[in-house]
Amino acid sequence: MGKPTGFLEYRRQTPKEKEPKERILDFQEFKKHDSLEKQREQGARCMDCGVPFCQSGCTLAGMTSGCPLHNLIPEINDLVYVGNLEEAYARLTKTHCLPEFTARVCPALCEEACTCGVNFAPVATKENEYAVIENAFRKGLVKPCPPKVRTGKKIAVIGSGPAGLAAALKLNQRGHEVTVFERSDRIGGLLCYGIPNMKLDKSIIERRKKLMEEEGVQFRTNVNVGADVKAKELLKEYDRILLACGASNPRDVNVKGRDAKGIYFAVDFLSRVTKSLLDSSLEDKAFPEIKGKRVVVIGGGDTGNDCVGTSIRLGAKSVVQLEMMPEPPKERTESNPWPQWPKVLKTDYGQEEAIAVFGKDPRVYCTTVDEFIKDKDGNLKAVRTVELTAKKNENTGRVEMSPVKGSEKQMDADIVLIAAGFLGAQKYIADEFGTALNERGNVKTKDSGYETFKQKVFVAGDMRRGQSLVVWAIKEGIEAAKAVDRSLMGYTNL
């Protein structure tokens, strides 16, 4: 695949980016993508490696290695190399129905499992995917394809995140009548209101929505199932229900002073900022005031990084990001060999911007908050932090992060954004449909599949597997669509 000597002749190139101090002036996507001619060189770097771990999507040491969708990556890279992007699009969409999203926000599990990456830099597969799908949109290759025959079956998809969209798209292609219910005013779930606009411009979601509508999918926004419409009504009207509501229960930090004013869950904060941006270009100020404020972000993952980048764009005086875990090594350790997912230090766009603006990395490792300190009016004025150290729990045998006595410090703070992850599905929607939750807060299913123990009700995405990646949500949506189709028709050709 690719050019046999391409990995020796060409260096890995990823999109150039606007300088941090330039890109923080707005919320626009800031990557500058290469020409298609230059992109061919990146396709040329794909090796004829024999075993393409990039498309394996297997689990190694509890982590996913390679693409969960099993995209035909070497073939696509080869088609990019020879300049046949039309056929590359056809190849890509054999396994992937929403590549415009993963081409922007996926952490590229494929690249970290790339054989070329063992001794050289991995193939720029994610950027090749971007080139393929955006060329397809430009050339009019992505066309609405409504089904020629309808089955007469009706399906309600609850939730319009990546899992819901993928399932709706596939079920509609099969000929079923699909209606997607979304409690927000716009579709997309976390694609819309959880991921900032500079990572995923919301016009990309609208572009896909328009296509799906032209194919026959119906979207009903501002409908909160369980409140505005009851489960029994949907179960009566529709042949099958697919729950794709995400894992939207945020993990809290329940310490003294938690009731202080100025503490927000990260996704709530990001959602309000994005909604204000889309509604009024931030003119309505319908989000927490950040300008001139000292911001502390609790959580070191992608959402925490998004909070850092967003806070800087809104004019924060300072931003500190607290990470409970130790600082990862800069290179793989012997206990974390290829093709496992590399547990190494990565500096994302938000941290890069903080370094450019404030002169240092915002992350503070092995640290958490053990008290929120209020002023006389109940406003947050500081946080008390404590250092953590790894200790083995004698009862469970697991290594846990434990507070270090005497390590407490006080840090000035006006705003705290809690980005500590999620604890599973919101219980009200599970209760509404009579679906039980497991010990992790996810909806229980039969035989670890997609069908719940409630007749006619299926589940997919984070609501089934717990908080995960967009690529996994799309995979879940596709597989759930197959399960729903099979239950309706006795077989599936999806």
Query: Mind listing the pLDDT tens digit for each residue in 471-489?
Result: 999 999 999 999 999 999 9
Q: Are 38 and 160 in the same domain?
A: no
pLDDT tens for each residue of 76-92: 999 999 999 999 999 99
Residues 375 and 429 in one domain: no
Q: How many Å from the N-terminal Cα to the C-terminal Cα in the chain?
A: 28
Where a domain ends, among 386, 418, 450? 418
Q: What angle do CA 63, 475, 454 make, to 5 degrees?
A: 105
pLDDT tens readout for residues 292-323: 999 999 999 999 999 999 999 999 999 999 99
Q: CA 222, CA 181: separation in Å to the nearest integer?
A: 8
413 plus 275 within the same structural domain: yes
Please check the confidence at residue 1 and state whether its pLDDT lies above 80. no
pTM over 0.75: yes
Domain-located, residue 253: no
pLDDT over 80 (residue 228): yes
In the chain, the number of structural domains is 3
Per residue in 230-289, pLDDT (tens digit) is 999 999 999 999 999 999 899 999 999 999 999 999 999 999 999 999 999 999 999 999
Residues 223 and 126 in one domain: no
DSSP states of 72-90 as a string? -HHHHHHHHHHT-HHHHHH
Q: Are residues 392 and 283 in the same domain?
A: yes
What pLDDT, in 10s, does the model give residues 375-405?
999 999 999 999 999 988 888 888 889 999 9
Under 8 Å CB-to-CB from 204, ≥6 apart: which residues? 100, 101, 104
Provide the H-helix boundaries in 20-124.
20-23, 36-44, 73-82, 85-92, 99-105, 109-112
Q: Which of 418, 452, 471 corresponds to the end of one domain? A: 418
pLDDT at position 444 over 80: yes
Residue 269 is predicted with a pLDDT of: 98
Is residue 148 assigned to a domain?
no
Q: Which domain holds residue 392?
A: 263-418
Residues 433 and 357 in one domain: no
Write out 455-487 in H/E/C secondary structure: CCEEECCHHHHCCCCHHHHHHHHHHHHHHHHHH
How far is residue 80 CA from its own chain's centroid?
26
- Domain boundary (88, 105, 138) is at 138
